[in-house]
């Protein structure tokens, strides 16, 4: 069960600024958090509120379709997921954390020809399943890769290419949905009231994970627990982050899991917070230019990279550690003659070392007046990860409410797309494209 | 040849704050930059100044030894690099960018037992070479992995394990150097006056890269060019970053290459800046708590993650784009019947799309008053990467001089280590360990 370790925040005073007296803050803010919770639950019925992610863990029908399809795809050894942003980050985070082995997943969430070339050279089309993921069905990067893989499949397999391509997209709208209908492809729905970065537990995440052999039932079970405990855990952690930013001038939020397998979660966390909270206007329409800066880090690796800055640099950062109570498989460090300089490690395990590093870093930061708190999960299994994922979505929703911004849109990414279309000469953008090229 | 594209900085005014009038700033700061350059070159002769990285690209003798060893290791198919922080990031950045294929490199820069287990299960000891990299020779994480791999090699190969292990460490001091001497292992030196994060072009980087088949001569050739052009390129870019932080309140520096293969460079950049500039005290010993926050990003991937925050969030960020003039291999996007919604992509290439996204994002940020500049490299080959790497080290050195901090130490990471030692019961730390455990 996910737990918060919050002690020590009161001791991180800097100059005239006091530490965070969490008990009294929690008492003061509790009515407001309750009201936000109630409002989120009530507005969830309104599709325009984009709160569909709250109900996703209850959707056992979508899950059954995913599992049925995965069972029928025993012929596949490699799954190539074409998707970017919310169509890749949450699923990759789960894949790295759970590390299921039934099939190998490859996430292509970029446009660099070299790694795409390399991957194409390694794959056997006969045993490769391609899954194209895009909420709108019109994402340029995903479309470009789809064109390449669609041709590659047909060149190798002829008419049989259709069995090797599935799509995850809007249930009715967009070019991907239309194409799947026309060609009779397997197609899975992202509910219209679930945004990309909140779609982790829809088929965006469950389809790749079920194909790889993860226990997707347990994933949703954990997420339902996070729904029940949202006020107790997610609201509290959101409040801490909000207070540290607004009232203790810590606008940089470092998310630092211990364990390489959890780094993908940190990368998704960065997207969740950046796109949800980085907003020009608040809910009343006034200019605010708000939003903490999320920084994905990894322990103990980044003790050898970012820690110097975290401990001695500006007092503008708060750290959220993510730790596991147990590692599953572990490795014992043997005694080796001639390496007695490392006797303190002999007989210990790799996980013991990792935990000592985590604890040492937590204390060293607190002593330097740098606030942090810890999210504890039992282990990196499907149930714990499902709870963690839904917790992070709730945390983001509470943060949106506290900052007073719409956490469920992303208006600031449009202009870059429009310019890219213009430079590519897409119909309707020719004039702008001409102007941009003249300026360059 | 590396080039800076700096136009547009003058137009990013926000409220009463003016844009950066770069020409006049450059004129004003030129004498100071020249003086810093001169001082760095002069102090490079003093080993205590830790400026040995300036002379590394001239060290053809170290390179010959590396190449001779690599030629003799034709029997190896996989190379496992055990190292963390500066012993992994620069080499991995080069490996991802150049993507040589003579051998497969695996960088283990973490302590998560699961991925280590998995890797051990995939490797054949007979064709695996293990390279342990640690400047001090006493890094705990690297030592732990060395114990595991050392035992694994001997269990499989008996006395022949020695041929499968090489070390890169201080030329005289530390447990790794002693062990290599006692056991007769291949050993390569990191010059004492080169710090970990500045050791990219010593055997820390050249040994793994030579083994993988990259052209390490060209790497150093490019780096020598960066030495010649340091004042012209690195000093100028350092000044822009410094002015944006200090005089335009942009303490967050986003480093955003376009091209997945360049993301490892961004991760090393984050270490270079965080450890070099995140300092509690300046050179006079006064408390400053300085240091910009480096944020490694990736284009176009992070247009779907961070861009919302970069464009609409607080005006506290500057973006450094890194772009290639040509991609090497490219992929043409075929026309597919039924996917005419993507007709604007038909016949284009993946790289054309990537470049349109880069240019679109650059313009969209400038229009929103967000400053950025671009580093251009010709292509991701050894010569360009060598120049880029040495450029980034010079940039960091100039930034240290401008901020007035010692860019070549990292005092803030010690306490976390000491606490970890105490928790592990290392000799001499027992008392502290007992206290820490009682407090917990």
pLDDT digits (tens, 9 = 90+) for B194-233: 999 999 999 999 999 999 999 999 999 999 999 999 999 9
Regarding whether B389 and B278 lie in a shared domain, the answer is yes
Which one of B183, B199, B214 terminates a domain? B214
- pLDDT band of B246, cuts 50, 70, 90: very high
Look up the CATH number of the domain holding residue A272. Answer: 3.40.50.10490
Examine residue A229 and state whether it is found in any structural domain, yes or no.
yes
Regarding whether B93 and B197 lie in a shared domain, the answer is yes
Out of B96, B275, B355, B383, the active site residue is B275
Regarding whether B199 and B152 lie in a shared domain, the answer is yes
- Looking at chain B, how many residues does it have? 440
pLDDT at A18: 83
Contact between chains at B360 and A115 (C-beta distance less than 8 A): no
pLDDT at B74: 97
The shortest CB-CB distance from B333 to any of A148, A279, A351 is to: A148
Q: How far is B15 from chain A (nearest CA, A)?
A: 13
Contact between chains at A341 and B138 (C-beta distance less than 8 A): yes
- pLDDT band of B372, cuts 50, 70, 90: very high
The shortest CB-CB distance from B305 to any of A89, A144, A331 is to: A89
- Name every chain A residue with its beta carbon within 8 A of the beta carbon of B315: 289
Q: Coil, helix or strand for A106?
A: strand
Does residue B135 carry a catalytic annotation?
A: no
Q: Give which of A393, A385, A397 is closest to A2, Cα–Cα.
A: A385
Which one of A169, A192, A214 terminates a domain? A214
Question: What letter does residue A137 receive in the DSSP assignment?
Answer: S
Q: How far is B172 from chain A (nearest CA, A)?
A: 16
Examine residue A47 and state whether it is found in any structural domain, yes or no.
no
Contact between chains at B357 and A314 (C-beta distance less than 8 A): no
The shortest CB-CB distance from B359 to any of A290, A293, A423 is to: A423
| Mean pLDDT of the residues in chain B | 96
Mean pLDDT of A256-278: 98
Out of B110, B417, B434, B437, the active site residue is B417
Beta bridge partners of A349: A332
pLDDT at A95: 98
Alpha carbon separation from B231 to B34, B57, B281 (Å, rounded): 7, 17, 26
pLDDT at B258 > cutoff 80:
yes
pLDDT at B76 > cutoff 80:
yes
Angle at A284 between CA A281 and CA A290, to 5 degrees: 30
Which one of A167, A183, A214 terminates a domain? A214
Contact between chains at A419 and B359 (C-beta distance less than 8 A): yes
Examine residue B48 and state whether it is found in any structural domain, yes or no.
no
C-beta separation of A216 from A206 below 8 A: yes
Examine residue B47 and state whether it is found in any structural domain, yes or no.
no
Model pLDDT for residues A22-59, shown as the tens digit of each residue: 999 999 999 999 999 999 999 999 999 999 999 999 99
Q: Give the span between the Cα atoms of B190 and A106, in whole angstroms.
A: 36
Q: Give which of A256, A276, A372 is closest to A317, Cα–Cα.
A: A372
The shortest CB-CB distance from B360 to any of A113, A353, A420 is to: A420
Residues 6+ apart with CB under 8 A from A156: A125, A126
C-beta separation of B67 from B59 below 8 A: no
Question: What letter does residue A200 receive in the DSSP assignment?
Answer: T
Q: Give the span between the Cα atoms of B413 and B17, in whole angstroms.
A: 37
Examine residue B68 and state whether it is found in any structural domain, yes or no.
yes
Out of A141, A275, A355, A383, the active site residue is A275
Nearest CA in chain A to B293: A309
Examine residue B174 and state whether it is found in any structural domain, yes or no.
yes
pLDDT at B8 > cutoff 90:
no
C-beta separation of B304 from A84 below 8 A: yes
Contact between chains at A313 and B274 (C-beta distance less than 8 A): yes
Regarding whether B206 and B233 lie in a shared domain, the answer is no
- pLDDT band of A16, cuts 50, 70, 90: confident
Contact between chains at A275 and B148 (C-beta distance less than 8 A): no
Does residue A417 carry a catalytic annotation?
A: yes
Regarding whether B101 and B34 lie in a shared domain, the answer is no
Question: What SS3 string covers chain B?
Answer: CCEEECCCHHHCCECCECCCCHHHHHHHHHHHHHHHHHHHHHHCCCHHHCCHHHCHHHCHHHHHHHHHHHHHCCCCCEEEEECCHHHCHHHHHHHHHHCCCCCEEEEECCCCHHHHHHHHHHCCHHHEEEEEECCCCCCHHHHHHHHHHHHHHHHHHHHHHHHHEEEEECCCCCHHHHHHHHHCCEEEECCCCCCHHHCCCCHHHHHHHHHHCCCHHHHHHHHHHHHHCCCCCHHHHHHHHHHHHHHHCCCEEEEEEECHHHHHHHHHHHHHHHHHHCEEECCCCCEEEECCEEEECCECHHHHCCHHHHHHCCCCEEEEEEEECCCCCCCECCCCCCCHHHHHHCCCEHHHHHHHHHHHHHHHHHHCCCCEEEEEECCCCHHHHHHHHHHHHHHHHHHHHHHCCCCCCCHHHHHHHHHHHHHCCCCCCHHHHHHHHHHC
Q: Give which of B168, B410, B404 is closest to B272, Cα–Cα.
A: B410
Nearest CA in chain A to B181: A338
Regarding whether A171 and A302 lie in a shared domain, the answer is no
- pLDDT band of A292, cuts 50, 70, 90: very high
Alpha carbon separation from A417 to A426, B12, B140, B347, B376 (Å, rounded): 11, 21, 46, 19, 22
Contact between chains at B305 and A270 (C-beta distance less than 8 A): yes
- Check: pTM over 0.95? Answer yes or no: yes
- Name every chain B residue with its beta carbon within 8 A of the beta carbon of A108: none
Contact between chains at B336 and A309 (C-beta distance less than 8 A): no
- pLDDT band of B438, cuts 50, 70, 90: confident
Q: Give the span between the Cα atoms of B312 and A412, in whole angstroms.
A: 6
% of chain A surpassing 70 pLDDT = 100
Q: How many domains does chain A have?
A: 3
Examine residue B323 and state whether it is found in any structural domain, yes or no.
yes
Regarding whether B392 and B248 lie in a shared domain, the answer is yes
pLDDT at B308: 96
Out of B159, B284, B289, B304, the active site residue is B304
Please state the ipTM of this predicted complex: 0.97
Examine residue B271 and state whether it is found in any structural domain, yes or no.
yes
- pLDDT band of A199, cuts 50, 70, 90: very high
Model pLDDT for residues B154-168, shown as the tens digit of each residue: 999 999 999 999 999
Out of A417, A430, A434, A437, the active site residue is A417
pLDDT at B14: 74
Regarding whether A298 and A262 lie in a shared domain, the answer is yes
Contact between chains at A275 and B309 (C-beta distance less than 8 A): yes
- Name every chain B residue with its beta carbon within 8 A of the beta carbon of A312: 278-280, 289, 291, 411-412
- pLDDT band of B302, cuts 50, 70, 90: very high
Q: Give which of A2, A14, A1, A3 is closest to A318, Cα–Cα.
A: A14
- pLDDT band of A303, cuts 50, 70, 90: very high
Does residue A36 carry a catalytic annotation?
A: no
Domain that includes residue B171, residue range: 53-214
Regarding whether A176 and A161 lie in a shared domain, the answer is yes
The shortest CB-CB distance from A252 to any of B271, B293, B412 is to: B293
Alpha carbon separation from A331 to A134, A353, B114, B118 (Å, rounded): 40, 11, 9, 11
Q: To probe the interface with A, which of B149, B279, B293, B370 has the most A CB atoms within 10 Å?
A: B293
Regarding whether B185 and B163 lie in a shared domain, the answer is yes
pLDDT at A440 > cutoff 90:
no
Regarding whether A129 and A234 lie in a shared domain, the answer is no
- Name every chain B residue with its beta carbon within 8 A of the beta carbon of A301: 84-85, 109-110
Regarding whether A285 and A401 lie in a shared domain, the answer is yes
């Amino acid at each position: 069960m996910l737990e918060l370790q919050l002690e020590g925040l009161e001791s991180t005073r800097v100059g005239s600024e006091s530490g965070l007296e969490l008990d009294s803050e929690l008492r003061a803010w509790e009515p407001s958090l309750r009201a936000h919770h109630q409002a989120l639950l009530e507005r969830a019925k309104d599709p325009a509120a984009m709160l569909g992610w709250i109900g996703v863990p209850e959707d056992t029908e979508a899950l059954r379709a995913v599992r049925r399809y995965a069972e029928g795809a025993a012929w596949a050894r490699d799954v190539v997921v074409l998707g970017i942003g919310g169509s890749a980050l949450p699923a990759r985070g789960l894949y790295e954390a759970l590390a299921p082995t039934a099939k190998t997943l490859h996430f292509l969430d970029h446009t660099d020809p070299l790694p795409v070339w390399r991957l194409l050279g390694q794959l056997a089309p006969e045993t490769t399943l391609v899954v194209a993921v895009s909420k709108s069905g019109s994402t340029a990067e995903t479309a470009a890769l789809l064109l390449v893989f669609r041709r590659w499949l047909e060149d190798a397999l002829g008419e049989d290419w259709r069995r090797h391509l599935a799509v995850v997209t809007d249930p009715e709208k967009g070019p991907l949905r239309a194409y799947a209908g026309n060609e009779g492809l397997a197609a899975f729905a992202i509910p219209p009231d679930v945004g990309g970065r909140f779609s982790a537990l829809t088929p965006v995440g469950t389809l790749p994970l079920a194909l790889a052999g993860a226990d997707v039932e347990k994933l949703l079970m954990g997420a339902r627990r996070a729904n029940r405990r949202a006020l107790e855990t997610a609201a509290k952690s959101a409040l801490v982050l909000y207070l540290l930013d607004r009232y203790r001038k810590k606008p940089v939020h470092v998310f630092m899991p211990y364990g390489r397998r959890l780094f993908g979660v940190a990368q998704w966390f960065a997207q969740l917070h950046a796109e949800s909270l980085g907003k020009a206007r608040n809910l009343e329409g006034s200019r605010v230019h708000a939003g903490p800066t999320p920084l994905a880090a990894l322990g103990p690796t980044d003790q050898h990279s970012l820690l110097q800055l975290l401990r001695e640099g500006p007092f503008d950062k708060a750290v959220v550690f993510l730790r596991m109570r147990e590692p599953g498989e572990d490795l014992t460090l043997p005694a080796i003659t001639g390496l007695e300089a490392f006797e303190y490690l002999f007989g210990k395990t790799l996980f013991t070392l990792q935990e000592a590093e985590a604890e040492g870093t937590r204390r060293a930061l607190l002593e330097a007046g740098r606030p942090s708190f810890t999210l504890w999960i039992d282990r990196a299994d499907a149930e714990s990860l499902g709870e963690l994922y839904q917790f992070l979505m709730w945390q983001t929703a509470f943060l949106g409410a506290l900052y007073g911004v719409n956490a469920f849109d992303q208006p600031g990414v449009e202009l870059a797309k429009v310019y890219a279309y213009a430079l590519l000469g897409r119909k309707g953008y020719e004039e702008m494209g001409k102007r941009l090229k003249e300026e360059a």
